[in-house]
Structure 1
Amino acid sequence: MQKETATSVFESLSSPVRLDVFRLLVRQGPEGMVAGEISAALDVPPTNLSFHLKGMTHATLLTVEQEGRYQRYRANLALMVELIGYLTEECCAGNPDLCVELPGKASCAPAATSVPAVSKKRSKTAVTA
């Protein structure tokens, strides 16, 4: 993933409404939802939602498919996975064995037993002493 693509995705998700829409559609998976269902689920007026859906589609966060007179929106799950990969590709300096896995979610936080924590105050004292 290019840095410009990641920036565009984050800019598009910086709106609370857009973030709610994306999370809702991620929960729906490949089935997606039609615009009216999204509007009702999030209690967002259709005209306001239309603006956000257009922006998110333009940023490739969503795909849209015409179904008769309705439009079905789906989260671009491949882009989401690619973005997560972009954010974590250099996790733990390229040593994935140093990363800890949490129940239900992967985390790139160093394992508590692998690297002792040092407070900033102590490190400044150690440097100046």
Structure 2
Amino acid sequence: MENEQALLTFTALAQATRLETFRLLIKHEPEGLPAGEIARLLAVPQNTMSAHLTVLTRGGLVTSQRRSRSIIYRADLTCVRELMLFLVKDCCGGATEICAPLIADLMPCCPPEKVSS
């Protein structure tokens, strides 16, 4: 991720409703949510939510797909990964003990599945 894209992404998250929207979509991965449902759950008018979803899409954080009469929005987890890597890319200068607590804090969320032999 380049600086310009990182700034677009951070700008998209730098507003309370958009941040709540993104966090809601993260919780509903991989199914996603229709725009109307997002607006209802966050008690935001649909036209306002549409504008927020446009900003999140421009920031690379959200993707959309039409399903019949609905548009389903999903969090773009690739963008999340790239943003996290952008933030910590040069964080420890080779001193892994500095990054180890950060990695440990992220692991309880999504521990890797064990492969059975």
TM range (shorter): 0.7 to 0.9
Query: Which stretches in structure 2 are left out of the alignment for 5+ residues?
Result: 107-117
Larger Rg: 1
Alpha carbons 2:34, 2:71 under 8 Å: kept: yes
Counterparts of 1:37 and 1:9, CA distance in 2:
23
Trace 1:22-101 onto structure 2 (pairs within 5 A). 22-101=22-101
Give the TM-score normalised by structure 2.
0.83
What's the % identity of the aligned pairs?
38
Counterparts of 2:104 and 2:27, CA distance in 1:
15
RCO (CA 8 Å, sep 6+): is it higher in 1 or 2?
2
- The list of structure 1 runs, each at least 4 consecutive aligned residues, that deviate by more than 6 angstroms after superposition, is none
Q: 1:105 to 1:22 in 2, by over 3 A?
A: same
Give the TM-score normalised by structure 1.
0.75
Query: Which stretches in structure 1 are left out of the alignment for 5+ residues?
Result: 107-129
Deviation at 1:7, TM superposition (A): 0.5
The root-mean-square deviation of aligned C-alpha atoms, in Å, is: 2.0
Deviations 1:33-52 (A, max 9, x none): 00111011111111110111
Q: How many residues align?
A: 107
